[in-house]
Amino acid sequence: MDVLFDATMNTAKKFILHTNFPGHYDFSIYYRCNFALALGSSSSIVLTAQSKWSEIESFLSCDEEPSLPEEKLESRKLQQPVVLNRCSSNNDSNPFGSTFCFGLQDVIFEVMANDHIATVMLLNS
């Protein structure tokens, strides 16, 4: 896990949870962070290091709480992913291919082509 601190405000700005899944560019650089994050008020789904994006995406994109105001529903809609192509400093090609970053409110999910979640970034805005 990586933590980005703001020295002027003495707060944590970002937590990066690494799943260390084989086939990711950062595989074996980090230890797996065995996290469990309950999603939603009913905690009907739990995000773990072994979760697949299709399970999480279906939960995040559906309207689980019809009583939410319209602006809250708009903020829950998933946008098109940002393609992240990593390579080393000497411009070697990345044998693992690109990953896709999906953002939702203050959370960014980095997803590999095989549907596994590579990292979860929790931001403090």
The model's pLDDT over 7-57, given as tens digits with 9 standing for 90+, comes to 998 999 999 898 887 766 666 677 778 889 888 776 678 888 889 999 888
Half-sphere exposure of 34 (CA within 13 A, CB side): 0
Identify the three-state secondary structure at position 58.
helix
**In whole angstroms, what is the distance from residue 66 CA to residue 10 CA?**
38
Identify whether the C-beta of residue 77 lies closer than 8 Å to the C-beta of residue 61: yes
CA distance 12 to 52: 27
Q: Where are the domains of the chain?
A: 2-61+76-123
Per residue in 86-107, pLDDT tens?
A: 665 555 666 667 888 998 888 9
pTM: 0.74
